[in-house]
Amino acid sequence: MSLIPAYAGGNPPHLNNVIIISIDALHPDALRQAKIPTLSKLMQSGAYTLDGRSTEPPKTLIAHTAMFTGMAPGENGKVDNDWITGEATVQKPTIFDSAQRNGFKTGYFYSKEKLGYLVNDAVDVHEWSRDSAIDSAGAFIKTPGRHFVFLHVSGLDQVGPESGWLSPAYIEELSYIDDYLSSLIELISVDKNYLIIVTSDHAGHGKIHGSHHPEDYRLPLVVCSDAVPINQYQNISFSVFDLKKMLGDLLQNDSS
């Protein structure tokens, strides 16, 4: 993989690709334990924090809605963790609305049906796919244009409840995800002028998640770019609500 060094000053060029990868149920400590060459390179060449925090309660759809809207559950209206196809979708503006205004083609690829709640008019291409969200995101990025992608990756959210958070099986699953992501990250890196963000919706402890246990609220944030300044995110305290504002700041730094 040929990641180029993080942005070092001067006039930032036009961003070609912005991708946010949410690895469902990723405990930040797993980034220190698993063999993850792809994510490690992003961490080393970018900025990261292991001090991220989920919503109250720390559950998948509630946390992702906070990420997308920049609002707490009480404010954005999504206080339960359920949604099925055909029900009303998000009513507040999301990260996709800002991306579309910035001239990006938007793609949303997710592996849990309930995340369909977050599809709105500002999403050009969307697909719910249990096993091939990563492949679909790659195919979308290969289409002409500038892309803004939100990719939700499942796996740890199944292994965690079965085998335990940070268990050997959980760590192995993260290595598998890391390997699976490598060609997508390579594709974006080669294209240059990228912004890659890796985060999660919540962690867990033992075989439990979504509880009031402090570990359940934890999540990481990794930010890597060859085009916009990202060093300010090293070791910050991050909340899932902060993602929307962070993207706003970073896209504003884009000279487009």
Binders of Zn ion in range 187-226 (CB under 5 A)? 201
Nearer to Zn ion, 12 or 58 (CB): 58
* CB of residue 198 to Zn ion, shortest distance in Å: 15
In sequence order, the 6+-apart residues with CB closer than 8 A to the CB of 49 are 220, 221, 233, 234, 235, 236, 237, 238
* CB of residue 57 to Zn ion, shortest distance in Å: 11
- Pick from 60, 94, 98, 120: which binds Zn ion (CB under 5 A)? 60
Bridging pattern class, strands 147-153 and 218-225: unpaired
| Binding status of residue 124 toward Zn ion by CB under 5 A | no
* CB of residue 107 to Zn ion, shortest distance in Å: 20
Nearer to Zn ion, 25 or 171 (CB): 25
d(CA 127, CA 124): 10
d(CA 106, CA 20): 11
Nearer to Zn ion, 63 or 90 (CB): 63
Given a contact cutoff of 8 angstroms between Cβ atoms, the answer to whether 205 and 30 are in contact is no
Q: Identify the CA nearest to 174 among candidates 203, 132, 140, 208.
A: 203
Binding mask 5-34 for Zn ion (x = CB under 5 A): -------------------xx---------
Piece of 59-67, 191-199, 212-220, 241-249 that binds Zn ion (CB under 5 A): 59-67
Piece of 8-16, 155-163, 174-182, 248-256 that binds Zn ion (CB under 5 A): 155-163
Nearer to Zn ion, 25 or 250 (CB): 25
- Reading the block at residue 19, the tokens are 């991708």
Binders of Zn ion in range 62-101 (CB under 5 A)? none
Nearer to Zn ion, 105 or 112 (CB): 112
In sequence order, the 6+-apart residues with CB closer than 8 A to the CB of 179 are 38
The DSSP string of 43-108 is HHHSEEEEEEE--SS--HHHHHHHHHHSS-HHHHS--SS---TTS----S--HHHHHHHTT-EEEE
Given a contact cutoff of 8 angstroms between Cβ atoms, the answer to whether 154 and 24 are in contact is yes
Piece of 56-64, 119-127, 160-168, 220-228 that binds Zn ion (CB under 5 A): 56-64
| Binding status of residue 157 toward Zn ion by CB under 5 A | yes
How crowded is residue 231: how many other Cβ atoms within 10 Å of its Cβ?
11
Contacts with Zn ion: how many residues (CB under 5 A)?
5
d(CA 163, CA 157): 10
Nearer to Zn ion, 178 or 201 (CB): 201
| Contacts to Zn ion by CB under 5 A | 24-25, 60, 157, 201
